[in-house]
Homo-oligomer: A and B are copies of this chain.
Amino acid sequence: MSHTEAPTWSEHVHSVLARAGHQRGGARERVIELLARQPCALSAVEIEDALRAEGTPIGRASIYRVLELLVEHGLAERVAVGPGQSRFEAIDPSGAHHHHLICRECGRLVAFDDPGLERAIDNLSRRLGVRVEHHDVLLRGSCEKCE
């Protein structure tokens, strides 16, 4: 192949972090690899448990450090689903992202994306005249299964 493949999220993360002057380490690699495989957001505790279950336990401090680093660099997003319950998920390098509906009944997280919503936030930030770096949107209701 002569053309450049679009980089995967992991590759993108590694290149961004390398460019920012970060070395590589086992803990970070593990967390990134795990996040790369997820369809939707995980909590820090779930990440800790998943890694331990895979036989490569990672210190709690490292997990939070990695997550903070990723969020700082716009590589992952924190989804606050409740008091003391943050979840994290990869952000696609293309800028494509989705938001979530959390079901009041079963607590399940449902992902969606909506250009109209993004456009509205865009217009809004222009109207406010402030620099909006990020937007959190979380809908609460009941999902199809709990309807």
Contact = CB atoms under 8 A, between A and B. Distances in A.
A130 B117 contact: no
Contact of A143 (B78, B83, B130, B135): B130
B120 A117 contact: yes
Given A83-B84, A83-B86, A134 B130 contact: no
A129 B141 CA distance: 11
A101 B83 contact: no
A130 B101 contact: yes
Interface residues of A, number: 38
The copy count of this chain in the complex is 2
A132 B83 contact: no
Nearest to A137: B137
Interface string A66-92: 000000000000101011101000000
Given A138-B136, A139-B134, A117 B121 contact: yes
A114 B125 CA distance: 10
Given A116-B124, A117-B120, A131-B141, 8 more contacts: A83-B84, A84-B84, A101-B128, A114-B120, A125-B141, A129-B144, A133-B141, A136-B140
